[in-house]
Structure 1
Amino acid sequence: MDKKRIWKSYRFPIILVMGIIVGALLGVTLGEKATVLKPLGDIFLNLMFTIVVPMVYVSITTAVGNMVNMKRLGKILGNLVVTFIITGMFAAALVLVVVNIWPPAANTTIQLANAEMQEAASVGDLLVNSLTVNDFSGLMSRNNMLPIIVFAILSGVCVSACGGEESPAGRLLNNLNDIIFKMVDVIMKLAPIGLGAYFANLVGEFGPELIGDYGRAMVIYYPMCLVYVVIAFPAYTYFAGGMTAVKRMLKHILSPALTAFATQSSVAAIPANMEACRKIGVPEDISNIVLPMGATMHMDGSVLSSIIKISFLFGIFGQPFTGVGTYAMSVVVAILSAFVLSGAPGGGLVGEMLIVSLFGFPAEAFPLIATLGFLFDPAATCLNSSGDTIASMMITRMVEGRDWLAKRIASGEAEA
C-alpha cells in the first residue's frame, strides 16, 4: 500500500524527471543532431504559451471578481509586494557576501578597457512601459505580462462592483476558468515528452559551450542557488505553516521546479505552480493572483544572478565593486530588473539591458552579461518559479493567519 501511495503521489514528477534525463542523455549522445527533437519541445512550449495569456487574465479577473470584500484583495496585494521585496533582499544579501569572497571576474581572460559611463535611462519611462501598453492588442501578447495583470485586476474590481460571481459576467468567467484549467491539465500530460525533447536540444546545442571564461561565475552561481534552496526555501515555508507546510512543499514543488528548469520560463511553469498550490492547500484566490504576478515580479534567482553579473562587469572594466553606495545600488537594480523581467525564455535580456543602462556600462557590456544570463537561466528560472509557490504559502499565512493550513486540511479544502 505504501508503495502504491508513493507512486500515486510522485508518479508525474518521476515520469517528468525520467523524460528530462532521457532528453539530456540524447542531447549528449547525438550532439547537434538532437535538434531533430526540437519540434516536439516547441509544440509543448507553444501550447503552454498559447494558454498562458487567457489563463492569467481569466484566473486573476475571476479571483478578484469573486471577492466581495475588497479589503482582502488589498491585503493580498500588500503582502505580495512586501514578500517579494523582502525575499529579494535576503537573496541580495547572500550574493553580496559571496561575490566579495569569490569575485566572479577574477582571473578571467576577457580583457576590456575602462569605458566612459553613459547616461542612464529614465526609470519612469521604464515603469510606464512595463505596467501599461498603448493599445488593447498589446494585451494579447505574453511579452506584456505585467500590463495583462494590471488590466485583469482592474477588470476583476469592476466585475465585483457589478455583481461579482452571481452576475452573468461572473458566472461566465468562473466557467471559463474551469475550462482553461481543464485544458492545462490536458497539456501537462504532454510535459514529459515535450520537456525531454526540449532539453535534448538544449544539451545537444549548447552543452560544450558551458566551459570557458564563464566557468568561474557558474561555479559560484550554481552552488549558491543550491544553498539558497536548502536554507531559504524551508525557512520561508516553515514561517508559512510549520513542518506540515515544509513537508507538503517538498512533496509538490518538484513538478514546477523541473518545468521551469527545463523550459527556462516562469510563465510556462505557471500551470504546474497552480497545480502544486492546489495540492498544498493554498486558497485559489491567493494563488490565482500571486502566481501570475510572481512569474514576472518574484525572482530571487534573478536577483542572485543580477548581482553576480554586476560584479562581473565591474571586474571586467576594472572598477572596484566596493562601498555601501555600490552595494545599495546593486540591490535596487537587481530587484528592479527582476520586477520587469519577462516570463519568457531569454526574457532576462530586459533585466540585463537595465543593468547596463543604469550603471552606465558601454554597449560591449551587454553581450558579456547576456552570455552569463543564458548560462544562469535554467537555475535562476527554477528558483524564481518554485519560489512563487512558497511565496503563495507565505502570503496565505499573512492573510489568513498562522493556522491556515491546519484549518484547510481539517475542512477538506486541501489534500490530507
Structure 2
Amino acid sequence: MKGSLKNYSGIIWLLSGIALGSIAGLAFGKKVEILKPVGDIFLNLLFTAVIPLVFFAIASAIANIKPSDKLSRMMGVTAIVFLGTVLVSATLTIIAVKIFPIHESLSSVQLTEKVEESPFAEQITKLFTTTEFYELLSRKSMLAMIIFSLIIGFATLRAGKAADQFAGFLHSGNEVFKGVFVLIMKLGPVGLGAYFAYQVGVFGPQLFGTYAKSLGLYYGFGAFYFIVLFSAYAFIAGGIQGIKRYWKNNLIPSATAVGTCSSIATIPANLEASKKMGIPEYIANVTIPLGATLHKDGSSISSIVKMAVVFALFGKSFNTADAIILALGMTVLVSIVEGGIPNGGYVGELLFISAYGLPIEALPPAMIIGTLVDPMATLLNATGDTVASMLVARFTEGKKWMQADHKSRYPETFLQNNSLP
C-alpha cells in the first residue's frame, strides 16, 4: 500500500497544486494574472529540456541495439505489430471523438487567438526538415530533430566498434537528461498550479466541464479497448484458448501497472505472465522490454483526446483529413518518445504541441488531461505488451505456437546471447 502511494505521489502533488490553483482562480478572478510568470518559467524549463532529452533517447536506443540474424524476422514482425496496434487504437479513438464530440462545445472557451493554418504541403516540409542545423535546436523543429536523431543512431550502429565511445556518450546523455526532466518536474505542482489559477481566473470555471468530458471519454473508451480489443488480439493470436490464457495471466500485470503507474516497473510481471501464456522466451525477452518503451496503446488514445481538446481551445480544426493524418503520425511518434515512467507522457505532450506549432499556453491543458488519465494509460500501455507478444509469437512461430515446447527449441544459451541488454 505504501509503495503504491509512493508511486502516485507525483500525481497526487500535481493534482493538489492544480486544485489549489483552481481555488485561487475562482476566489480572486483576474487578480491571479500575477501568477502567470511562475507558470511560464516552469513551461520554459520543460521546453528547454525536451530537445536534448528526445535526441539522446532516440539516438541512444538505436545506437545500442545488438543486432542478430536469428532475431531479424521476429524484430520485423514486432515492428509491424507495435505499429499496427498503436494505429488501431488511434483510429478508433478518432472515431470515438466523432461519436462523442467533446471538443465541439469549446469554441467559446478559446485560451488565445486562433492558430493560423498553413497549407498541408508546407506543414509537411516544415515538420520533416529545416534549412539550417541550428534550427534543429528549436522546439518548432521537433520532428526534424527526431529524424536527425534516427540518422545519428543508425550511423553510430553502422560504425560498429569505432563508435563504441560515442554510443556510450549517447547512453550517458540519455540518463542525464532523464534526470534533468525529473528535477524540473519537481516544480510541477507549483508551475501547473500557478498556470491553472491563471486559466480559471481569466477564462472562468467552464474549463472544468472540458476536462470532465475528456476524462469520461478516455476512461470509457479505455475500458472498452482493454476488454474488447485486447480480447480480439488474443483471439487472433490463439483463438479461444488465446483469450483464456491472456486473461487468466493478466491480473498480476494489470495490478502492477495500476499500482506503480509505470510500464517499466511492470516488465518483471509481464515476463512472468508471458511464460504462463506460452510465449517463447526469446520473443518475450525482446518484445516485453522493447514494448515498455516503444509500444503504448494507452498513450496513443490519450494523444488523440488531448489533441482534440487542445485544437478546439486554440481554434484549430481537428476534422480535416490533413489534421487526422498528421495526428495518426504524431501518435506513433509520441508512443516511441514517451518514457515508460510515471508521468512520462509529458514528453509526448511537449512533442505534439511543438510539432504543430501551438503556443506555449497549449501545454497546461494537455498536461492536466495527461495527469488525470495516467493510471488507465499505464494499464493499457503495460498489459498491451503481453498481448502484442502473443501476436508476435503467432506470426513468427505459426498457428500452433502455444502447443510447441519452446524451452527445448530455444535453450538458455540462445536466450542469453539474444536477449536485449
Q: What TM-score comes out, normalization by structure 2 length?
A: 0.63
Per-residue CA deviation, residues 242-284 of structure 1 (Å, 9 max, x unaligned), is: 1112111101112112212222211111111111111211111
Please name the residue that 1:88 is paired with: 86
1:224 match: secondary structure: helix
Contact 1:302–1:380 (8 Å) recurs in 2: yes
Indicate which of 374, 385, 388 corresponds to 1:388: 385
1:214 match: secondary structure: helix
Contact 1:145–1:342 (8 Å) recurs in 2: no
Structure 1 consecutive aligned stretches of length 4 or more whose deviation exceeds 6 Å = 18-21, 409-413
Distance 2:217 2:109 in 1: 18
Contact 1:145–1:343 (8 Å) recurs in 2: no
288 and 262 in structure 1: CA distance in 2 versus 1, 3 angstrom threshold:
same
Please name the residue that 1:252 is paired with: 249
Please name the residue that 2:355 is paired with: 358
Q: Which consecutive residues of structure 2, in runs of 5 or more, have no partner in the other structure?
A: 17-60, 119-125, 127-139, 157-165, 179-192, 194-206, 411-421
Distance 2:117 2:374 in 1: 27
Distance 2:100 2:273 in 1: 36
Establish whether residue 100 from structure 1 lines up as the match of residue 91 from structure 2.
no
* 1:227 counterpart letter in structure 2: F
Distance 2:105 2:325 in 1: 26
In the comparison of the two structures, how many residue pairs are matched? 300
Indicate which of 221, 234, 249 corresponds to 1:237: 234
Indicate which of 221, 224, 227 corresponds to 2:224: 227
Q: Following TM superposition, by how much is the alpha carbon of 1:407 offset from its aligned partner in structure 2, in angstroms?
A: 2.1
Please name the residue that 1:181 is paired with: none
Establish whether residue 125 from structure 1 lines up as the match of residue 145 from structure 2.
yes
Distance 1:243 1:410 in 2: 24
Please name the residue that 1:79 is paired with: 77
Distance 2:407 2:345 in 1: 42
Contact 1:238–1:246 (8 Å) recurs in 2: yes
RMSD of the alignment, in Å? 3.7
- Tell me whether 214-223 or 85-94 shows the greater mean CA deviation: 85-94
* Identity among equivalent pairs (%): 33
Q: Which runs of structure 2 are paired with 1:197-236 in the superposition (5 Å)?
A: 213-236=210-233
Please name the residue that 1:284 is paired with: 281
Q: Which runs of structure 2 are paired with 1:3-402 in the superposition (5 Å)?
A: 70=69, 72-107=70-105, 110-112=109-111, 113-116=113-116, 120-129=140-149, 132=153, 136=168, 139=171, 213-402=210-399
Contact 1:309–1:372 (8 Å) recurs in 2: yes
Per-residue CA deviation, residues 106-151 of structure 1 (Å, 9 max, x unaligned), is: 44585313245797414242245478595626536885999xxxxx
Contact 1:88–1:335 (8 Å) recurs in 2: yes
Per-residue CA deviation, residues 162-185 of structure 1 (Å, 9 max, x unaligned), is: xxxxxxxxxxxxxxxxxxxxxxxx
* 1:114 counterpart letter in structure 2: K
Per-residue CA deviation, residues 341-391 of structure 1 (Å, 9 max, x unaligned), is: 111112111111111011111110011101111111111111011000011
Distance 2:397 2:301 in 1: 30
Contact 1:144–1:342 (8 Å) recurs in 2: no
1:261 match: secondary structure: helix
Contact 2:317–2:323 (8 Å) recurs in 1: no
Q: Following TM superposition, by how much is the alpha carbon of 1:334 offset from its aligned partner in structure 2, in angstroms?
A: 1.0
106 and 144 in structure 1: CA distance in 2 versus 1, 3 angstrom threshold:
farther
